[in-house]
Homo-oligomer: A and B are copies of this chain.
Amino acid sequence: MSQPDTRQRLLDAAERLFAAEGFHNTSVRAVTSEAQANLAAVKYHFGSKEALLEAVFERRLVPLNQLRRERLEAVRAAARQHGGRPVTTDVLRAFIEPTLAFRDHGPGAEAFVRLVGRAIAEPDDTIRKIFMQLVNPLFILLYDTLGEALPELSATERFWRLHFAIGSLSHAMCLAGHFQILPTGVTSLPDATALTAMMLNFLTAGMEAPCA
């Protein structure tokens, strides 16, 4: 029997199922069945289905957020050191590169990326707040750092351009490995590095566009 850590197996199964079927469309029984655990194990290890979702988010989002924060702070520090502004594309890269590269962080990570990509648009207030509580401080840091890179941009413009970028990113996260029919001419799917390069190229141009 592979029963080393029931808690871990529950997190793995919940991560996969919540990403593939959605939170409300996934039953606790489906999770415990896939994890080869007893139905009551969710209550024992986490307390409730919602607390399980919170644990799924926290397990991967806490280290990912720390990495993204470090990269953003590094860009800020480097700019301050040579007395200039941070470069827009560096700021965006500090946030986006670790995010898209995360899908290669072992099995389940790809499902997690899809789960996170959807969480920001989650209708259920309780669920969205669980997620936002974890990522909002980072969004604020990104917003502030973009303000240092683009001081001529008004707060309103910067706010909405950041949301446009977040939309592009989260949509691309949802598409990870979840592919529809491709148009003729689009042969293969890009890896995380190539996708990051394309997205940075696109979003940097949008961020730096002169105001109309």
Among B25, B132, B171, B182, point to the contact of A164 (Cβ < 8 A).
Answer: B171
Count contacts on A: residues with CB < 8 A to the other chain. 58
Minimal Cβ-Cβ distance residue in B for A167:
B171
Among B140, B157, B202, point to the contact of A206 (Cβ < 8 A).
Answer: B202
Contact with B along A173-212 (1 / 0, CB 8 A): 0110000101111110010000101110111111111011
Q: How many copies does the complex hold?
A: 2
CB distance from A96 to the nearest CB of B (A): 11
Among B19, B170, B180, B199, point to the contact of A171 (Cβ < 8 A).
Answer: B170
Further 12 A-B residue pairs, CB within 8 A, beyond A21-B124, A160-B195: A21-B123, A22-B124, A118-B123, A155-B183, A156-B185, A160-B190, A161-B202, A164-B172, A164-B198, A167-B169, A167-B170, A171-B171
Interface residues of A (CB under 8 A from B): 19-22, 24-25, 117-118, 120-124, 132, 140, 143, 154-157, 159-161, 163-172, 174-175, 180, 182-187, 190, 195, 197-199, 201-209, 211-212
